[in-house]
Structure 1
């Protein structure tokens, strides 16, 4: 049900009160793409584990290989190598696609292992460092234990990013009034865009492949001057 309330849009230059007809939010299903991007590290780890299991199960991976024996087959080092390669590829794609969800989750995956590594380094007396040799010893200690924390960090980073994405979805509101439509939302930085009905030049309806499959889409209000067509919240 919609809300029937009075909003003051003097800040937008209307100079009078406007009655709100309904307040809407993006649907959960409309954020599927963002949710999947949020759990990118967890998906990489999961796919690596499946590939490793199938490789061993069907003897595609030679456990007696001297190269694998050197790295202690199944150890965190092997897992680290198998994870870090696709991670950099996904990071590059996320940067190209400007996906904040993937960049955040991947960034957390790289940073979170430093917390236990630094803690155990402090317990081992390597912190604080006193000279250059101490710095090298600290770096060697961190690099030795760093891969062991990658898997739990990937799942934790995915969970934290997923929570952040859901909080962002809940913050977005579409306020439909009798004079126009306001889109507002954001977490650290709030943004509000108000478009009066008399300034709407055209309405664009957009559906992705997932949108056609699950029957959802995006409505884009474009002003008569074609400004603001890139500033909208999907879902």
Structure 2
């Protein structure tokens, strides 16, 4: 086994290509980090505007006092800014999660909110604290995303496709060429411009496929003596679509058409191999036959 590989090579197996994700293929993660930095600056400007035009307005004092009753030890402005902070984070996490079809953005936003809140309440009781945590999270996020991207490695060997992710933990997926039933290529606009894309090898069992589903329902009810009777009728329609995590696909690899060509040729070789081996065995049997055996046949 080569010392720089994260897996064992099989007998007579060779690594024919080593691939890594293009930096721009993780651009959505970088953009989230930049969004957090923008959010910190925007919230600071918003807090200043509120301080000048809202918090000093006597007409809202009753509303602020109502809020303060839930946390009597906090300054009114700090408490109100904390509520805005949480609303913005929750809304951002939900929206990004819907677009990504993932719950992780919301969890990350909640984590940032918890750290910012605890730091402000117990260490530095000023509205700028949580914004500093937000800005710090953006910087740390950029560093972590880059390490996360560099932890992805993909290998095309003579027998299989191997995908490795090393980030905190380690995950390895491998699929033999003869088990691949289809190969999907996806390229964004940036991918077409800079010649990178994602390749998803779909196995015979359907690994590599996700489902986009829509649900419709109709409810009806009638009043009856002593209560109400109701019924709900619904239907669901789903469409299978190639979708896989970055470490379960060849995510953002350069020159995806060339890579797909290599995989396709290997699939063809593996499918032809049993036939070629059978022909080779027949020819070998013919060579090993004695002249007497040949005459009898």
* TM-score, with structure 2 as normaliser: 0.53
Distance 1:68 1:115 in 2: 28
Q: Give the counterpart of 1:87 among 84, 89, 96.
A: 89
Paired residue for 2:16, among 12, 21, 24?
21
> Is residue 34 from structure 1 mapped to residue 29 from structure 2 by the alignment?
yes
- SS of equivalent to 1:219: strand
Q: Shift of residue 19 of structure 1?
A: 0.8
Structure with a larger share of its residues in strand: 2
1:98 aligns with 2:102: yes
Q: Distance in 2 between matches of 1:17 and 1:198?
A: 17
- Tell me: CA distance 1:231–1:69, structure 2 relative to 1, closer, same or farther (3 Å): same
Residue 111 of structure 1 pairs with residue 115 of structure 2: yes
Whether the aligned pair in 1 keeps the contact of 2:40 and 2:132 (CA below 8 Å) is no
Is 1:206 equivalent to 2:204 in the alignment? no
Name structure 1 gaps, 5 residues minimum.
Answer: 11-15, 121-144
CA contact (8 A) 1:40 1:102 kept: no
Give the RMSD, CA atoms, in angstroms. 3.7
Deviation, 1:27, is 1.1
CA displacement at 1:78 relative to structure 2: 6.5
Aligned CA distance change for structure 1 residues 181 and 163 (closer, same or farther; 3 Å)? same
Return the alpha-carbon distance in structure 1 between the equivalents of residues 42 and 195 of structure 2.
Answer: 29
Query: How far did 1:101 drift?
Result: 5.2
Indicate conservation of the 8 Å contact 1:39/1:102, yes or no: no
Contact 1:101–1:161, Cα closer than 8 Å, also in 2: no
* Count of aligned pairs: 197
TM-score by length of 1: 0.65
Cα offset, 1:36, TM superposition: 1.4
Higher Cα Rg, which structure: 2
Q: Which has the higher contact order (CA 8 A, sep 6+)?
A: 1
Distance 1:83 1:155, change over 3 A: same
Confirm or deny: 8 A CA contact 1:23 1:173 kept in the other structure.
Answer: yes
1:165 paired with 2:145, answer yes
In the TM superposition, 1:161-200 aligns within 5 A as 161-200=141-180
1:8 corresponds to: 8
Distance 1:171 1:185, change over 3 A: same
Distance 1:69 1:216, change over 3 A: farther
Structure 2 Cα separation of the partners of residues 232 and 88 of structure 1 = 24
